[in-house]
Chain A
Amino acid sequence: MEPILDKGQKRRDHLNEVYVEVDSADFRDVCHGLFIKQHALLRLMFATDEREKDGLFRIYVVFTVPGSDAFTIIVLPMKEDVPSFPSLTPMIPAAHWYEREICDLFGLVPEGHPDPRRLVFHEAFPANAHPLRKDWSISDAEKQEWGEGRAVKVPHPFLEVTGEGIVQIPVGPVHAGIIEPGHFRFSAIGETIFFLEPRLFYTHKGTEKQFEKLGFADGVKLAERVSGTSSFAHGAAYCMAVERMMGMEITEKAAAVRTLVLELERLYNHIGDMGNMCAGTALAVGYAKGAVIKERLMQLNVRLTGSRYLRGVNVVGGVTRDVYAQADDILKTLDWATKEYKDFMQLLTGSVSHMERITNTGRLSRDIARKLGVTGVAARASGLPDDIRKSHPHLLYDRLIFEAHTYEQGDVFARTMIRAEETECSISMIMALMESGYKGELAVPLKTAAPYASALGYAETPRGSLFYWVMADRDGRPLRVKLRSPSYCNWPAVPFAVHGNIVPDFPLCNKSFNLSYSGTDM
């Protein structure tokens, strides 16, 4: 990266994070250089309101260059009276949602963004609402104005596809099954999907603002409630960020517990997801079988941690429970699960109707996946070996032997097979972890954060890479907590994957990505 960045910019290193401050004239060139010449991945992008420190807003763009553990973080400071920055989206499509989000939450405008519509906020929110600005607040009178009345007055400008034979099919936000809310606008020719525009953020709960209220230690509880099925990974990534910011080292024991439970989480999710995909192909027996294995694994979760969603284990500084004490139970349940899982896979691969339906359905090309910054299972199924466990070894992952599994096809079949291979991999990782003993306390005491200290935390959830970035304010309380769930990167890819498929295959494609709405909407 040196040639582009070596222009005497302000540079600050913290662990594996390299912060480089640039001005707005260089901002685009530096970012484009990283993305295009060095094939860097855009991991996340966010704004902060640091006006209490030096009167500036800042934009942070986090890149990683494949093959390196370092995070290159480009920082663009911005004065309050010129609240705009050059948009990266025209060259780096992965930036498009981040920039619209920054515009909604902070009122900082991405100049030259090809799609300047609002993203996070719907009609219910007034146009001047920028809740992550520190000086923003709402009066009760303003609150009254929100909601029902406004929603009807200003309809959302959906992208329209017109032409002979094109029909619009609006679906949601409340769907037929028990799933999360989101609106889908299909433009179809007969049964074939020509264009899909998802409209999300119905479940926007102001999570990032809530983090600022809670304080660093209590934030874990909220992190665990961002996306239920990845509760543990969220907790672990959040704790990691806070620990790195405060300069805390967790013990080997705590790291071992976190690694093990992360894999347990992946296990129940992957098996459950493969079962759910059967619901999309009407293979009822497969669905039932997947659900039973998932349920038993979740009951193991209760016995180990007291929560079906593995909540309450992570704390800043370590963990609250030593799950290794119940090694027998884990081994016994895994033994059972492995056997059942083998039957289950035989059933899936032996069902011609299922296999035919998933092959070639919902293809996502490698090129689009890279440009949109797709992550996790979806990226690996499209040939991108993106796995945070491998590329940025943390916890005990550097001691375990595993590969980032990839497939080239990018279809539902590939996403199923990635999950299948990772299930087996997770089982053997858990077994390997239980072979040795680990030293140390469960948790180390909490430290305080230095003023304006910041750090990244990350984890590989069952869906893909997850990032937290935290910064303390003058008094060591949270100034900013940014979270970027894997679903946030993968949602924009869904319309590309379903293009040219038939409408009845949409649920199947959607399930194969298995994205969290809550994690995306924050």
Chain B
Amino acid sequence: MLKEIFKNVFTKKKAIPFPEGFDVDPDQAVKVIDFQRKIDTIFHRSLRIRFVDAGSCNACEWEGTALMNPIYDIQRFGIDFVASPRHADLLLVSGPVTRQMELALRRTYAAMPEPKLVVACGDCAMNGGIYQGNYAVTDGVGNVIPVDGHIPGCPPTPTAILLGLSTIIDKFTK
């Protein structure tokens, strides 16, 4: 056991361990490791996300919650979901943005410090998805606040959210 700890501390980490049950194919695994590197270097191991449900069917945000379970364990990447937009670097929005959530979303966005990124999570958030054109929705986050990237899927799986974030945060470096 001691030997194991010793080994872990002093050898340079080549790959993050994938806990049992973390469903990734080898191709994705490379990307996840790349993601870890980005978080380390760009964010000094600390990316803070504020998740706002703007009218999702609740599958999208259960996938967000799943990211924090011991299998995906997003915290080990240095990512965490925060309670206040004032602490957040990135705003993850799900749902087609209903008319009745529009104001709350705008206010959340306004409360975030610069620089900030906005990511639309799920098909609904992208363009209204199956709710497109309805009287009660605004057809996507992009119609309410500026969006930096989309993660497709209905809902995107936890791994898809992880990899989607990886692509989008490149914008921070530009």
A and B: bona fide binding partners: yes
B21 interface neighbour in A122, A295, A519, Cβ under 8 Å: A295
Interface digits, A118-153 against B, CB 8 Å rule (1 contact, 0 not)? 000110110001010000001000000011100100
Instruction: Decide: B83 and A176 in contact? CB cutoff 8 A.
Output: yes
B61 within 8 A of A: yes
Q: Knowing A148-B106, A206-B137 touch, does A518 contact B56 (C-beta < 8 A)? A: yes
Proximity string of chain A (409-429) to chain B, C-beta cutoff 8 Å, 1 when within and 0 when not: 000000000000000000000
Contact B64 A178 (CB under 8 A): yes
Q: Knowing A205-B96, A291-B70, say if A227 contacts B21 (CB, 8 Å).
A: no
Give per-residue flags for A146-169: 1 if the beta carbon is below 8 A from chain B beta carbons, else 0.
111001000000000000000000
Interface positions, chain B 127-174, Cβ under 8 Å from A, are 129-131, 133-137, 154-155, 157
Partner of A228, one of B57, B100, B133: B57
A311-B65 Cα distance, complex, nearest whole Å: 19
Tell me, in angstroms, the Cα distance from A280 to B102 when the chains sit together: 29
The residue in chain B whose Cβ has the minimal distance to the Cβ of A222 is B130
- Cβ of A55 < 8 Å from any Cβ of B? no
Q: Is the interface of A mostly helix, strand, loop or mixed?
A: loop
Inter-chain contacts of A227 with B (CB < 8 A)? 57-58
Q: How far is the CA of A125 from the CA of B70 in the complex (A)?
A: 42
Per the 8 Å Cβ criterion, residues 198-236 of A in contact with B are 201-207, 209-210, 213, 221-222, 225-229, 231
Residue B108, interface by CB 8 Å: yes
Contact B100 A124 (CB under 8 A): yes
Number of A-B contacts (CB under 8 A): 143
Question: Can you name 19 extra interface pairs (CB under 8 A) apart from A125-B99, A203-B100?
Answer: A124-B102, A178-B65, A180-B53, A181-B104, A203-B54, A204-B136, A205-B137, A206-B137, A210-B134, A221-B130, A226-B57, A228-B57, A291-B70, A292-B69, A295-B66, A299-B23, A308-B155, A309-B59, A309-B155
23 residue pairs bridging A and B, Cβ less than 8 Å apart: A146-B99, A147-B102, A148-B103, A173-B104, A174-B52, A174-B104, A177-B81, A179-B53, A181-B52, A202-B55, A202-B98, A202-B100, A203-B54, A204-B55, A204-B98, A204-B136, A205-B137, A228-B59, A229-B62, A291-B66, A291-B69, A299-B23, A302-B23
- Per CB-CB distance, the 10 closest pairs between chain A and chain B, nearest first, are A228-B59, A176-B83, A291-B69, A206-B136, A206-B134, A203-B55, A228-B58, A178-B51, A228-B57, A225-B57
Report whether B58 and A518 are in contact in the complex, using a CB–CB cutoff of 8 Å.
yes
Of B58, B63, B100, B157, chain A has the most CB atoms within 10 Å of the CB of B100
Are A180's CB and B58's CB within 8 A? Answer: yes
Q: 1/0 contact trace for A455-483 toward B, CB 8 Å?
A: 00000000000000000000000000000
Residues of chain A within 8 A (CB-CB) of B56 are 180, 203, 228, 518
Minimum CB–CB distance from B51 to chain A (whole Å) comes to: 5
In this complex, what residue of A is CB-closest to B63?
A: A308
Q: How far is the CA of A213 from the CA of B137 in the complex (A)?
A: 15
Question: What residues on B are CB-neighbors of A180 within 8 Å?
Answer: 53, 56, 58, 61
Cβ contacts B104-119/A at 8 Å (1 or 0 each): 1010100000000000
Provide the bound-state CA to CA distance between A122 and B103, in Å: 11
Q: Considering only CB atoms, which chain A residue lies closest to B52 in the complex?
A: A174
From B66, B71, B106, B154, contact of A225 by CB (8 A): B154
**A97 at interface (Cβ–Cβ under 8 A)?**
no
Shortest Cβ distance from A303 into B: residue: B23
Residues of B within 8 A of A210 (CB): 130-131, 134
Q: Which of A11-45 contact B (CB under 8 A)?
A: none
By a CB distance below 8 angstroms, the chain B residues around A226 are: 57
